[in-house]
Amino acid sequence: MSSRPVADLIAAARPGGLGAFNVITIEHAESIAAAAEAAKCPVLLQISQNTVHYHGGRLAPIALACLRIAADSSADIAVHLDHATSFELIRSAVDLGIGSVMYDGSTLDYTENVAATADIVRWCHEREVFVEAELGEVGGKDGAHAPGVRTDPDEAVEFVATTGVDALAVAVGSSHAMQTRTAELDNDLIARLSAKVPVPLVLHGSSGVPDAGLRAAVAHGMTKINIATRLNVLATEAIRTVLADSPTIADPRRYLAPARDAIRAEVEHLLHVLAE
């Protein structure tokens, strides 16, 4: 059922949020798909530019695996390219059959971000590809809480109108790569953005947001919820436990299977949180 457009998955998830989970290994993708089937919720399998680098700069192997897992699943699943900063990577994703991409020009100044994003949107829309962009920088833990990096609602309206993007990642207090769930979101800002911006809002850095914060973010207007680090933390904890209990294990299936189970359980839990 992976052929459904991302816009349809967003609509299917409402009034809840659409869970978008990052894939690093095939175990991630298998776990996320299994959780979506159990929860009966739509999901996105996301492949980041950093993951492409991890796989030797080759998108095709992990992308084709995700596309096949999505196609074979009974759940509504689509595959999304996350945090791409180059047109070449976006073109590669589209050529492989990925129908949703994020162009990340957030580190550029506003004028450069608008121009680059608009070019990407024009090219993608000619091929019926959904495009997400970012305004305001959801950076590391310190940067995301510094003055001036959060998304301005009026600027966001102008950005969407000028670029034609289909979804907008906004900076509202979350931070990438947080291993503790202590982030406090600016729900008033989320509500103001939701009231003004005519496209779905995307929350990056959601691993650092506790369940109650995720529910509040969705209630205030956040639509797509990106989660990566949380899954990696739990998978690594599971692997450490197995190896500590059985230090002579050499077969990776013996420790990757518990990691896969940990990811599946957390994704299923989070899907229920986002659907509440």
**107 CB-side CA count, 13 A:** 8
Cβ atoms of 175 and 145 within 8 Å: the answer is yes
The residue among 41, 34, 37 whose CA lies nearest residue 274 is 41
Rg (CA), the chain: 18
Among all chains, which residue has been given the structure tokens 């180059």? 86
H-helix or E-strand containing 167?
A: strand 167-170
Cβ atoms of 167 and 130 within 8 Å: the answer is yes
The one catalytic residue among 8, 72, 76, 82: 82
| DSSP single-letter state for residue 206 | G
Q: What are phi and psi of 180, to 5 degrees?
A: -115, 150
The runs of H, that is alpha helices, within the chain are 6-13, 26-39, 49-54, 60-72, 87-96, 110-125, 153-163, 187-196, 211-219, 229-245, 252-275
Cβ atoms of 40 and 75 within 8 Å: the answer is yes
223: left (phi over 0), alpha (psi -120 to 50) or beta: alpha
CA 102, 104, 107: angle at the middle one, nearest 5? Answer: 170
Q: Is 245 a catalytic residue?
A: no
Which residues are catalytically annotated?
A: 82
